[in-house]
Structure 1
Amino acid sequence: MPLHKVIYLSNNAKLYLWKITEDFDALFNQIRLKDSSLARLQTMKSENHKKGFLAVRMLLQHNDYNDFDLYYDAFGKPHIKPQGCSIKDVEISISHSNDFSAIVISEQKVGLDVEQIKEKALKIASRFMDVSHLENLSKEEQIKKATVVWGIKESIFKIKNEKGISFPNHIFEDDFNFEDKKATATLKFNNKEEKFKIQFDSEEDYIFVCAFESIKN
C-alpha cells in the first residue's frame, strides 16, 4: 500500500503514516539498505518488527531520503542528513506499532510515539500518570486518554533521551480534553524545568502523539 496519510502539524513539521499491508518481500524489494541496517534487520525475530522497520524506509523514500541518509547517535536517537546543499538542520522521529509505521520530519526537535489503543494502558495508568485526569470519563474514553498520556511521556523521552528520566516522577501532563487533540506537559529533571507542546490524533484504533519543545521567547 502507498503512503496512508500526511498530517500537517505546523508550517515546518509533518507526520507521515504508512499502513503496512504488504508482506516482507514486497517491502524489502523496494528499498536499498546500508550494511548496518541489513545486519540489524537480520537480528529481528518478529516479522512484524521487520516490516515496521522496512515501512519506515519506505516513508523516507517518499520524502526523497533513503536509508543511507538516516543515522543514529550513541544514545540510539535517529538523525537525518540535510538534503542537497541545505544547511538547515532537519529533525526526525520514528515510531512503529503493529499495522502502522510513522515518521515526523521537522525543523525543530520532535518526539513521536505510535500506540495501539488497548485496555492495558488503563490497567497500568496509576504507574505513569495522574489518574485524576481520568475522572468522569467512560471506560472507552479513559483507555484513549491513558494511551495518549503514555504517548506524551514516550515522545518527550525521545526528545531528551537522558538516562534516569522516570515517566511518573519527572514527566507531568497537564489535563486536557481528548477532542482538542493538543496538550501541554512539563519535564522536571536534573534541577531543570522544560515545557513541551503536544499534538495527537487517532487513526483507526491507533493514537499518534508528537511532542515539541516549547520555544522560549
Structure 2
Amino acid sequence: MPLYKTITPNSQTTVKIWKITESYKDLMDKVDLKPVALERVLGMKSELHQRGFLSVRHLLHQFGYTDSDLYYDDYGKPHLRDGKQISITHSFNFAAVIISDLIVGIDIEKQRSKIAIIAKKFIEYEFNYLDGGSVNYIRHLTIIWCVKESLYKLFCTPGLSFKKHCLVIPFADNDLETVAWIDYESKKYRYNIHFLEFDGFTCAYAIA
C-alpha cells in the first residue's frame, strides 16, 4: 500500500498522505463502499477522480475506519460517526486525510504556473509581501491557495471568500508553518497553519 507519509502535528491530530500508484481496478477491488459511495464513484467521468476518491477510502482504512464511518452534511463537509473531525483532499496522484479532536482542514495542489493567472481572484492582502519576480512566486502562490482552501474546508460557511475573508501571514522560503486569519462578519478567527512540499505538490493543513 503506497502510504506516502504520516505526520503527527500534535497529540490530537494525524495527517496521512497517499501516493496513488494503483490502477482504478486495484483500488476498487480492495475497498468496501456503501451504496451511495459506489454510485458516486461509478458516476465519475474521470478515472483520475475515481482513483482519488478510492485512495481516500484506503486512507480511512489506515486510520481504522471504513467508508461506512464517513458521511457528509448538507454543505458537503465530511464527518466521522464517532465525532472525530476530518478533512479530505486529493489532487492528481496524491490524496490526504487529516483526523483530529480539533477542527481541521487540508488541501493538496500541484504546483503549476497557471496559478499566477488566477492570483487576483484569491489574493488581496498577500500581494503586499509577495514578489512577482521571485523564482519562488509559483510556490508561494500555491502555498497561499492551499492555506485558503484548507481554511474554507475548516470554516465551511456559505459566502466565505478566499480574497476578502482569508488572510495568510507572511512566511519565509524555508518556513513550514504560518498563521492565517478568517475575518468574517466583524469577527476574526486565528488558525495555525502547517505546510509541506513534495514531488512538485504542496500540502497545507489548518488546525483550530
Q: TM-score, normalised by structure 2?
A: 0.95
Relative distance call for 1:63 and 1:169 in structure 2 (3 A) is same
Q: 1:115 aligned to 109, 125, 128, which one?
A: 109
Matched, 1:6 2:1: no
Kept after mapping to 2: 8 A contact 1:122/1:147: no
Q: Deviations along 1:109-162, whole A, 9 cap, x unmatched?
A: 0000000011122232232222232228623x1111100000111110101111
User: Structure 2 residue aligned with 1:131, among 127, 131, 135?
Assistant: 127
Asked if 1:203 is matched to 2:198, the reply is yes
Q: Counterpart of 2:51?
A: 51
Q: CA RMSD in A?
A: 1.3
Which contiguous aligned blocks of 4+ residues in structure 1 show a shift greater than 6 angstroms?
A: none
Contact map agreement 1:114 1:206 (CA 8 A) in 2: yes
Q: Which residue of 2 aligns with 1:159?
A: 154
Which deviations, in whole Å up to 9, do the C-alpha atoms of 1:158-194 show, x marking residues without a partner?
0111111111111111111131111111111122111
Amino acid at match of 1:174: I
TM-score by length of 1: 0.91
Aligned equivalents of 1:6, 1:194: Cα separation in 2: 27
Instruction: Provide structure 1 residue ranges, at least 5 long, that are not aligned to the other structure.
Output: 83-88
Unaligned runs of 5+ in 2: none
Partner of 1:86: none
Q: Sequence identity, in percent?
A: 36
Give the whole-Å Cα distance in 2 for the aligned partners of 1:127 and 1:51. 29
Please tell me the residue identity of whatever aligns with 1:91. Answer: Q
Contact 1:125 1:131 in 2 (8 A): no
| Residues 21-170 of structure 1: pairs in structure 2 closer than 5 A | 21-82=21-82, 89-129=83-123, 130-135=126-131, 138-139=134-135, 141-170=136-165
Q: How far apart are the structure 1 equivalents of 2:132 and 2:107?
A: 26
Paired residue secondary structure (2:86): strand
User: For this pair of structures, how many residues does the alignment match?
Assistant: 206
